Structure 1
Amino acid sequence: MCAAAALALAGCWGGPADDGEDDAADGASFEAAPWPMFHGRPDLAGAAPGRLPRKLTLRWRFQADGAIKSAAAIDPAPLDASGRDARVFVGSSDCHVYALALADGRKLWAYKTAGGVEAAPLVLEGAVYVGSNDGVLYALDAATGTLRWEYETGGQIPGGANWARSPQGDRTWILVGSYDMLLHCLDAGTGQVVWTHETGNYINGTPAVGGGRIVFGGCDALVHILSAADGSPVATVGTDAYVAGSAALADGRIFVANYQGRFFCIDLETQRILWHYGDDESPFYSSPAVGPRQVVIGCGDNKVHCIDRGSGRSLWTFATRGNVDSSPAICGNRVVVGSGDGRLYVLRLSDGRQAWSYEVGQPVTASPAVSGGWVVVGGEDGAVYAFGPEP
């Protein structure tokens, strides 16, 4: 049975107030922006505009009947500090997709699938597109949760969907990978196949879209680069080990990590590897977030790593007590990330110092969604947690 409770509890504060480098904010004014998909936008850069409040407060907790490994999506309605008019969409291993009110966590609707939902929802043009471990991509009405169409792939869908425009600009395409080894491109309105691209193994993550390209990795140890116009292959880049997470795109660069502990920066146009970081074989399940001059990623060595974008040099690491499979999000001078030690952390992007943390008690492998001063994340305890400004 699922329930939501409105709470007014603060998380455990992680130390004294920061110095002048800190750009966290007090007060009730925060920049409103959507977070409608995994890592916020099609390039999967994982960066939200604006700032987080100096002190986050647990505003509500929603309990599902199964672990929440899915990243949440926040409906791109106008947001303010009250959270009015905004909705949260999230999947659970209890075989449901939930729509919740951001303001108080009320369940607005739930849609039952035939398999657990680990993939992040995509909210676009009044619909929610979400894959399930039953191998089906569901298109649901965002307002009511009714089924618009469904599309069956040949394997489970662990990664979130992305989207692109047709070359003529008159159609929206939905892009999703599957364990059937195919990347599927579907018409958003009808669910009809536009094209598919075959790879050599499972596809785990969300495909990134930017610069006229679609970029994704998989268990074939390759980074695939396709034309966004028609899905035709442009190139592949070998990484020597399978890619469990998603790539991020920024300024003509691909940032992607593999299971053997290597993180790569690849030129999108030439496909040349510009640098790589790490070689201790601790696996990267996390996907990178891209800041102004750095990239941040979690690792199986229990650490959050911050790397210089230009050189691949380590800028800082932050040690937790569990694997960091959660994909971080950046907001101003803040990094938000979960850990297998059961805590949600907020770190300073500038130096990796802990600014705040909250103890969930069970591993946090889901990736946080950040919008308008709110942070929404799920835990393996089956709960969705929403943190925001003090009411």
Structure 2
Amino acid sequence: MPSRRRFLLGVGLASGLAGCTGSERSDSTGSDATGHGNGTRLTADGPPTTGGGTATDAGTATEPTRETPRHEAVRWRVAFDAPVERRPAIGGDAVYVGVGEAGLSANGSDARSSGSLAALGATDGTPRWTSALPAAPARRPRVRDGEVYCVAGRSNGFHGVDHRLLRFGTDGTERWRTDGIDQFLDLLAVGGGRAYLGTCDDALGLDGQRLFAVGRSGGDARWSVETGDAFGGRYLDGSLLVGLGGRAVARHDAATGERQWQKRVEGVRSSDGSFVVADDAVLAGGPPDGDGRLAALDLADGSQRWTYAEGGGRAFVPSGAALAGDTVVGTEYDGRVFALTVGDGRERWATDLDGETRRAPVVADGTVFVGGYRSNAADVIHALDAETGAKRWRADVPGFSGGIHPTGETVVVRAGDGRAVRSLDAADGSVRWSFEASEPLSAPVVGDGGVYAASESGIVRKFEK
């Protein structure tokens, strides 16, 4: 393959390594945004304000402070007295926030690593509870069936130190916590009465790590098997799909951990990072050291059902996919978007867009939304007809930072190199509002009542849709 594919593999592994080291921050390192000039410009709501509070556990859990919003699109604003480095999570009528800075030290014992998990009312931001964590959050909180999960732990820069998974009730009561492990730890999936976890470090590979399951009710160990560096998983009717080191996809029996098959392919992910599964098959990219292609692998045995690759002799590097009924809509790094029949991989339509389509498309209400990265011009968001591929509109979004979130009448995106959130009209791409911060923001999280984002200084905001 051309050198560009090797470069892309390096980018993918670097991204996976960032996940291993627990970093989920914005990729923004640039200067403050000052407005984009192609829609309504609203000023930022001012610098972050440190919130006060009363410690509930030796100073590791403090109450957040509600503050007055200073921006027309901000519905509420809550300040914590410690950084919020992870995306919030939404569950029911609550927003769950992991608070604390995961500092680095030679032995992973940095005192700054204290942390907490807090719940805010989704409607008005009212603080509901704050529970201490044994260390700073190492991953963003996850909500599954009314329970909240959070991985906490420290780092020495090469591997995790005392990482463990904690489960909380929606009232803030800690249900259980796993024993600590000196590796980076991630919650891969929940299902079948179990939570599935995988370990990883900075030496990516297909062995030397652990995949294990704990009981959902009590956190007791169920099984543990050797595997590679785990990046993402999905529970499917008694089985567990796991991505390994950016180089392989494996299926395990969820009850015993027994590996059923493993293939040297790269899992093709949706916009939320999960495997794309349809018609009892999982989508994957052709092997890291082989020709570029998109393939459908049978879930039963990993055998190949069909493959798709663009003709014309140019490199083909799938960057993501989404489902639209019986159609798979995929993106290829160089700006190609295509639609295939789920059952046989037959091409329904394909089109070339302006800009590099590095991320998965998003499909909602018959429209495909795709981000285009451009080196010599403003980044763009494209809207296509999901049935035909016809172009509906294109909107400039300077500094597009990934994350396209349709909300019905609007599409919310992160822009400004990670320091801005923008709402576009879903019908024509016009700007409804734009918020610009003086620091990086987390990727937005969309709920029924609004859009939520956090900043590293400890500010959590709810925006209108």
Q: TM-score, normalised by structure 2?
A: 0.57
Asked if 1:195 corresponds to 2:260, the answer is yes
For 2:199, which of 152, 158, 171 is the aligned residue?
152
Note if contact 2:85-2:101 (Cα within 8 Å) is conserved in structure 1.
yes
Note if contact 1:66-1:92 (Cα within 8 Å) is conserved in structure 2.
yes
Amino acid in the other structure paired with 1:182: A
Aligned-pair distance for 1:200? 4.1
| Residues 1:110 and 1:194: Cα distance change in structure 2 (over 3 Å) | farther
Aligned-pair distance for 1:294? 0.6
Larger RCO of the pair (alpha carbons < 8 Å, separation 6+): 1
Aligned-pair distance for 1:7? 3.6
Amino acid in the other structure paired with 1:60: V
User: Residue 163 of structure 1 corresponds to which residue in structure 2?
Assistant: 235
User: Residue 131 of structure 2 corresponds to which residue in structure 1?
Assistant: 108
SS at match of 1:247: strand
Q: Equivalents in 2 of 1:230, 1:384: separation in Å?
A: 47
Q: How does 1:174-253 map to 2 (within 5 A)?
A: 174-186=240-252, 192-200=257-265, 205-217=273-285, 220=288, 221-229=292-300, 231-238=302-309, 240-244=315-319, 246-253=320-327
- Cα offsets for 1:226-247 (capped at 9, x unmatched): 3345554433333644344x42
For 1:141, which of 153, 167, 188 is the aligned residue?
167
Amino acid in the other structure paired with 2:244: S
Note if contact 2:231-2:245 (Cα within 8 Å) is conserved in structure 1.
no
Asked if 1:292 corresponds to 2:365, the answer is yes
Q: Equivalents in 2 of 1:260, 1:131: separation in Å?
A: 38
For 2:76, which of 44, 58, 72 is the aligned residue?
58
User: Residue 264 of structure 1 corresponds to which residue in structure 2?
Assistant: 338
- Cα offsets for 1:5-27 (capped at 9, x unmatched): 444444644xxxxxxxxxxxxxx
Asked if 1:273 corresponds to 2:273, the answer is no
User: Residue 371 of structure 1 corresponds to which residue in structure 2?
Assistant: 447
Asked if 1:352 corresponds to 2:417, the answer is no
Q: Equivalents in 2 of 1:121, 1:176: separation in Å?
A: 20
Q: Equivalents in 2 of 1:141, 1:230: separation in Å?
A: 33
Note if contact 1:374-1:389 (Cα within 8 Å) is conserved in structure 2.
yes
Amino acid in the other structure paired with 2:366: R
Amino acid in the other structure paired with 1:386: R
Per mean C-alpha deviation after superposition, the further-off stretch among 300-309 and 354-363 is 354-363
- Cα offsets for 1:255-289 (capped at 9, x unmatched): 22222222222221120222223354x33233322
SS at match of 1:345: strand
Note if contact 2:233-2:240 (Cα within 8 Å) is conserved in structure 1.
yes
SS at match of 1:264: strand
Q: Equivalents in 2 of 1:101, 1:361: separation in Å?
A: 25
Asked if 1:325 corresponds to 2:401, the answer is yes
Amino acid in the other structure paired with 1:298: G
| Residues 1:185 and 1:284: Cα distance change in structure 2 (over 3 Å) | same
Please say which structure displays the higher CA radius of gyration. 2
- Cα offsets for 1:80-126 (capped at 9, x unmatched): xxx3xx53569987698974313246653547599x65xx7654354
- Cα offsets for 1:324-348 (capped at 9, x unmatched): 2322111111111101442111111
Asked if 1:124 corresponds to 2:144, the answer is yes
Note if contact 1:65-1:94 (Cα within 8 Å) is conserved in structure 2.
no
Note if contact 2:321-2:361 (Cα within 8 Å) is conserved in structure 1.
yes
Asked if 1:316 corresponds to 2:316, the answer is no
Aligned-pair distance for 1:174? 3.9
Q: Equivalents in 2 of 1:131, 1:197: separation in Å?
A: 30
| Residues 1:164 and 1:146: Cα distance change in structure 2 (over 3 Å) | same
Matched-pair identity in %: 22
| Residues 1:293 and 1:58: Cα distance change in structure 2 (over 3 Å) | same
Note if contact 2:329-2:338 (Cα within 8 Å) is conserved in structure 1.
yes
Give aligned pairs, total: 325
Asked if 1:306 corresponds to 2:413, the answer is no
SS at match of 1:161: strand
Structure 2: gaps (5+ residues): 1-59, 105-112, 179-194, 206-227
- Cα offsets for 1:139-175 (capped at 9, x unmatched): 6524437237643365597964333213xxxxxx443
Aligned-pair distance for 1:74? 2.2
Aligned-pair distance for 1:3? 6.8
Q: Equivalents in 2 of 1:124, 1:291: separation in Å?
A: 23
Amino acid in the other structure paired with 2:362: A
Structure with greater proportional helix content:
2
Structure 1: gaps (5+ residues): 14-54, 167-172
